[in-house]
A and B are shown apart, each in its own frame.
Chain A
Amino acid sequence: MKTFLFILIVVSSGVAAGLIHGSMNLIFVEPSLDQAIGIENQHLFASGEEKDTPEFWIKYDGYRTWQKSGQVLAGGILGISIGALFGIVFALSRNSLPGKTDVKKALVLAGIMWLTVYFIPFLKYPANPPTVGDPETVVLRGILYLSFIAISGFGAVGFYKLSQKLKTKKLVAIIGYAAFIGIVFVVMPENPDQITAPVDLVNNFRIMSAFTVSLYWLSLGIILGSLWHHYKPHKEIIPFN
């Protein structure tokens, strides 16, 4: 394994997929975010914390433009972060992944990780727009969300390893994981926050959020798989005499 090339491929594919994610969010998710923050502004005016003046809007617009640039930057950072995890798992599991090419293998793994560490946790603790979260419960919600992701991810790996050890079919591991995560899904506490924002806004936000995160995983699989196929970091050139 060529260490430097391996890390370079993982980081480049992560940042590329992350920038795609951030840019797609500007198109698909920002309208919902603007709408939700608009509701927050109305609350600020109603409570007298802020005044509905031209000065407020000039400051607000500048602030939001800065925050939207942060969306793309954060996309790059998050992309590298999740991409690093993906790279580790891909390198460790490449030989056992189905598919003849690296792109197919990477897409299979991206699909498995999308399902276990993103989509199933999302179904339990769906994304919420601004105005929904209660600042008092943010630590609890963070712990619940991360714990669920960790339980699901390690659960999937655990059932796969178990089926390997017992030499059973992969289907047994899938059924085992499904039963396990089903129980965890029911047992884990709900998000404690009440949703007071309009249902249409929340639903639209969640659909768009899930859509762009899914685009991220798809891009990550394709880009890492293609770079891996092209540069073959697992092959080492050694002298032969």
Chain B
Amino acid sequence: MSQSRQISVSKNGIPITAIVALAIIFVAGLFVVGFDQGHIFSLVYGDEAFQDLYIHELTHDMRHAAGFPCH
């Protein structure tokens, strides 16, 4: 009779894919909330986005509250 057994081990290796994915999330999120002045929407809407500042206006209050430079 075959018996399958398993063991739980602790590994120190952190998968590089996880680090890369989280690093991208970090940079993208920080840019959206802290620094976008129309850049992201300009990819779709063109120069108009720099006038509308949709993301800037939407994240405006958190931008101030979290200490990012604004205006």
Contacts and interface: CB of A to CB of B under 8 A. Distances in A.
Contacts of B51: none
7 contacts: A3-B15, A25-B61, A30-B61, A66-B58, A71-B61, A84-B29, A85-B22
A223 interface: no
Interface residues of A, number: 61
Given A81-B29, A138-B71, A73 B35 contact: no
B30 A81 contact: yes
B58 A81 contact: no
Nearest to B28: A81
B13 A74 contact: no
Contacts of A73: 58-59
Interface of B: 4-15, 17-19, 21-23, 25-30, 32-35, 37, 57-71
A71 to B, nearest CB: 4
Given A127-B67, A130-B70, A84 B62 contact: no
B59 A70 contact: yes
A70 B53 CA distance: 13
A95 interface: yes
B8 A236 contact: yes
Contact of B64 (A33, A68, A77): A33
A105 to B, nearest CB: 14
A59 interface: no
Interface string A67-88: 1101101110110111011011
Nearest to B29: A81
Q: Which of B7, B13, B35, B64 gathers the greatest number of chain A CB atoms within 10 Å?
A: B64
B25 A74 contact: no
B65 A80 contact: no
B11 to A, nearest CB: 6
Contacts of A70: 57-62
A7 B15 CA distance: 10
Given A3-B18, A29-B65, A78 B33 contact: yes
Q: Which of B17, B23, B71 gathers the greatest number of chain A CB atoms within 10 Å?
A: B71
